């Protein structure tokens, strides 16, 4: 049986850790790519990970490179390339810089892997998905943003800790942009099938929702010199698995919504069925009045972000 080929563009913490999770799960052979200025760094990380294979017991082949030719004919390409926001850097500076980086990556991948499915992890997430979609020219089903899997994982973790139950028994769903305007759906959160609203008081649940929205910032504040990478990488690997194994997972991802939810042509987080073709289906669920209001605020924030990006990079 032919192994899937998974290329990861960006060999920093998130990219390298995604390679780690994907290799350990034997999702396919992995190519870890970074810019030529990093010289042999991706080769070193790939070799180090490959040398762990006899210990962990996986047979994935792992290579590092600075040449896009080595990623040719990939089944899945993960884009983690970009820079984090630094002190003194404006939001527009980050947006413009990463839009150029992600656009360049998408253009290169479209040349060498025209049939690949793209998973975008770079921030600002929703705008970067829009950028990769526009530059690659791919069908919207094959350009997907990783945010919802991470955000629901944080939400589920906090609920499990609050109730002192297994995380495996907590299920949740959220909509909208990645960040402050995400919309965790209380109506879809359950613990062992029991609605979470039956188990946690409203004021405490509101605090957990806010902590979920601030999840990335909380880790940045604690680390001081970096941002989260274990959970983002694990979330990305789960999406890769759903695609290469055609698992038909129903999970939240950032995708281009046109008529769905009346979004009107922007990339936002919604529930999708993820399988071998990428987004197999966008799931529309009924929202109550409060959820509709919050979701519209999130859509408006994404639109503003995309409009800013368009002015900055065209």
Q: Are residues 113 and 236 in the same domain?
A: no
What is the per-residue pLDDT for 248?
A: 98
CA torsion 133-144-175-303 (nearest 10°) is: -10
What is the per-residue pLDDT for 90?
A: 62
Sole residue written with tokens 């049986």:
1
Domain CATH for 294: 3.90.110.10
200, 223, 231, 280, 286 from 188: Cα distances, Å: 14, 32, 22, 21, 11
Domain CATH for 119: 3.40.50.720
Helices (H), the chain: 13-24, 41-50, 53-56, 91-112, 125-136, 148-163, 202-213, 215-223, 230-244, 289-313
Q: Are residues 26 and 46 in the same domain?
A: yes
Q: Are residues 50 and 184 in the same domain?
A: no
User: Looking at 178, 205, 232, 241, which residue is catalytic?
Assistant: 178
Q: Are residues 101 and 210 in the same domain?
A: no
| CA-based radius of gyration for the chain | 19
In 3D space, the residue among 147, 62, 64, 74 whose CA is nearest the CA of residue 106 turns out to be: 74
CA dist., res. 216 & res. 228, Å (int): 7
Domains identified in the chain, total number: 2
Mean pLDDT per 10-residue interval, the chain, length 314 residues: 94 97 98 93 98 96 97 98 73 85 98 98 95 98 97 97 98 91 92 98 96 91 89 98 98 96 95 98 94 94 93 84
What is the per-residue pLDDT for 313?
A: 86
**178 is an active site residue:** yes
Task: Say if residues 118 and 79 touch (Cβ distance below 8 Å).
Answer: yes
- SS3 for 241? helix
Q: Domain range spanning residue 298?
A: 148-313
Q: Are residues 160 and 89 in the same domain?
A: no
Q: Are residues 68 and 111 in the same domain?
A: yes
Which residue among 112, 145, 178 closes a domain?
145
Q: Are residues 130 and 175 in the same domain?
A: no
Q: Are residues 188 and 291 in the same domain?
A: yes
Which residue among 129, 145, 161 closes a domain?
145
Which residue among 119, 145, 171 closes a domain?
145
Residue 190 in tokens: 């359950």
Q: Are residues 161 and 298 in the same domain?
A: yes
Q: Are residues 183 and 94 in the same domain?
A: no
What is the per-residue pLDDT for 86?
A: 65
Q: Are residues 196 and 105 in the same domain?
A: no
What is the per-residue pLDDT for 273?
A: 98
Q: Are residues 246 and 118 in the same domain?
A: no
């Amino acid at each position: 049986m032919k192994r899937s080929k998974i290329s990861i563009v960006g060999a920093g913490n998130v990219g390298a850790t995604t390679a780690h999770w994907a290799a350990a799960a034997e999702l396919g052979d992995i190519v870890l790519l970074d810019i030529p200025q990093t010289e042999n760094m991706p080769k070193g990380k790939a070799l180090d990970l490959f040398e762990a294979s006899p210990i962990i017991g996986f047979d994935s082949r792992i290579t590092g490179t600075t040449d896009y030719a080595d990623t040719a004919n990939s089944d899945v390409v993960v884009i983690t390339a970009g820079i984090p926001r630094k002190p003194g850097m404006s939001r527009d500076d980050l947006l413009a810089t990463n839009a150029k980086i992600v656009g360049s990556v998408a253009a290169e991948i479209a040349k060498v892997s025209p049939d690949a499915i793209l998973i975008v992890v770079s921030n600002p997430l929703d705008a970067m998905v829009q950028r990769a979609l526009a530059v690659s020219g791919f069908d919207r089903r094959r350009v997907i943003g990783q945010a919802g899997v991470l955000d629901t994982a944080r939400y589920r973790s906090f609920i499990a800790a609050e109730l002192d139950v297994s995380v495996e028994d907590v299920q949740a769903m959220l909509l909208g942009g990645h960040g402050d305007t995400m919309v965790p759906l209380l109506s879809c959160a359950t613990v062992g099938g029991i609605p979470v609203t039956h188990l946690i008081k409203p004021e405490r649940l509101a605090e957990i929702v806010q902590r979920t929205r601030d999840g990335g910032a909380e880790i940045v504040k604690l680390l001081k010199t970096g941002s989260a990478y274990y959970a983002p990488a694990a979330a990305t690997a789960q999406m890769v698995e759903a695609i290469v194994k055609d698992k038909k997972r129903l999970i939240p991802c950032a995708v281009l919504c046109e008529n769905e939810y009346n979004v009107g042509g922007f990339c936002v987080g919604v529930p999708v069925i993820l399988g071998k073709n990428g987004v197999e289906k966008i799931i529309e669920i009924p929202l109550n009045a409060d959820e509709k209001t919050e979701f519209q605020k999130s859509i408006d924030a994404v639109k503003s972000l995309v409009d800013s990006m368009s002015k900055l990079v065209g």
